[in-house]
Amino acid sequence: IKKQSVIPVAMYGGRNAVTMLPGGGIGPELMEYVREVFKYAGAPVDFEVINIDPHSEESNEFDYAITSIRRNGVAIKGNIETKSESAGVLSRNVALRNELDLYVNVLHCKSFPGIPARQKDIDIIVIRQNTEGEYAMLEHESVHGVVESMKVVTESNSDRVARYAFEFAKKNGRKKVTTIHKANIMKLSDGLFLETSRKIAKEYPEIEHNDMIIDNCCMQLVSKPHQFDVMIMTNLYGSIVSNVLCGLIGGAGILSGRNYGDHYAIFEPGTRNTGTAIAGKNVANPLAMLHASVDMLDHLGHKPHANLILDAIHKTIAEDHLLTPDLGGSAKSSDTMNHLSYTQGLI
Ligand code: ADP
Ligand code: MG
């Protein structure tokens, strides 16, 4: 078996260099919070900040971002907007993941103490194919009024995402992997994804494997989510299922998502929202991006700093209940941040 994710990371004088892509909407303010806690926690990380122009198709910054991530190995990002209405302008978020071959997205949906939610004690890992499927970005109008959109499923990508899921399950003491699909309708594409996961499952007899059709999966997630442990699926189903799960445990402002390939890693909020409507209002929940920054510290091997920040979050949310409006509270983003820094005695 090929060794997973051996990622070289840049380190200068004992400090890591990390690419920071703030993106649009609430991205820049959330990044400020990350820099604030990193300063107080003494995290040995220097950021290389790159702002990508959402209006221009010809973006030097985009190429610079790719070069920077290739050099540093690691990035933290907000959602990059595509402002042009033209169909020819592709999403930079998708292009970035494809260019760097970040073939797997991992979302750990775990209930948080102190956060009001529709379901309790959720602990589900969503592993999503991150570079093809319905996000192949191959659409065209073949004749006027007829649009075709290609969903691309390859055996090699289905193989490595399934392998990633079973290895993850094995390393983390997980018991079951469920493949989510629509192979009854998309017999060839989802059929290949499902068959490949069944083939890989045979190499892991100690881990239970089953599968479920995406529509039933959505119903089960809302009514009986505790039956799920590790889930794998193609790109678009992954986006939808991730959003359902975030909704179950308290919304878009909490969870982080991780994008991995064999060489690079990008950390970001789990639902990848821009949050344009709430930008600059001091109401955005800082937790999703803070959790992304904690994932990043973990990845870089700075466990003590990661734990320091996690403890501060726990005290602020679970013990002192400084909740932002998306969680039903009345705290401003800055109230949560100030409390978080003081509570931990970081200042
Ligand atoms: P999209 O990027 O898909 O257009 P939005 O940016 O509109 O999504 O975000 C979806 C919803 O989630 C919005 O209601 C937005 O306010 C909310 N949201 C996203 N991130 C946060 C956050 N960090 N704090 C609070 N609400 C958030
Ligand atoms: Mg939006």
Residue 36 scores a pLDDT above 70: yes
Q: Counting ligands in written order, which one lies closest to the CA of residue 278?
A: 1
Closest C-alpha to ligand 1, atom 12: 252
pLDDT in tens, 166-191: 999 999 999 999 999 999 999 999 99
Mean pLDDT, residues 297-301 taken together: 96
Closest CA to 11 of 53, 71, 65, 56: 71
Atom of ligand 1 nearest to the CA of 26: 23
Give whole-number Cα distances, 36 to 14, 27, 170, 290, 293, in Å. 20, 14, 36, 10, 11
Atom of ligand 1 nearest to the CA of 272: 2
pTM: 0.94
Q: Do 28 and 22 meet the contact criterion of CB atoms below 8 Å apart? A: yes
Mutate to test the pocket of ligand 1, among 242, 255, 268, 273 (most ligand atoms within 8 A of CB): 273
The answer to whether the CB of 288 is under 6 A from ligand 1 is: yes
Mean pLDDT, residues 15-21 taken together: 97
Local confidence band at 85 (pLDDT 50, 70, 90 cut-offs): low
Q: What percentage of the chain exceeds 70 in pLDDT?
A: 94
Residue 87 scores a pLDDT above 70: no
Local confidence band at 262 (pLDDT 50, 70, 90 cut-offs): very high
Local confidence band at 312 (pLDDT 50, 70, 90 cut-offs): very high
Mean pLDDT, residues 118-146 taken together: 94
Q: Counting ligands in written order, which one lies closest to the CA of residue 275?
A: 1
Give whole-number Cα distances, 331 to 123, 181, 213, 283, 336, in Å. 27, 40, 40, 8, 6
Residue 1 scores a pLDDT above 60: no
pLDDT in tens, 67-77: 999 999 999 99
The answer to whether the CB of 286 is under 6 A from ligand 1 is: no
Rg (CA), the chain: 20
For residue 247, report the distance from its CA to the centre of ligand 1, in Å: 11
The answer to whether the CB of 285 is under 6 A from ligand 1 is: yes
Single-letter residue type at 101: D
Mutate to test the pocket of ligand 1, among 278, 283, 337 (most ligand atoms within 8 A of CB): 278
For residue 24, report the distance from its CA to the centre of ligand 2, in Å: 9
Q: What percentage of the chain exceeds 90 in pLDDT?
A: 85
What pLDDT score was predicted for residue 345? 57
Closest CA to 48 of 69, 34, 30, 28: 69
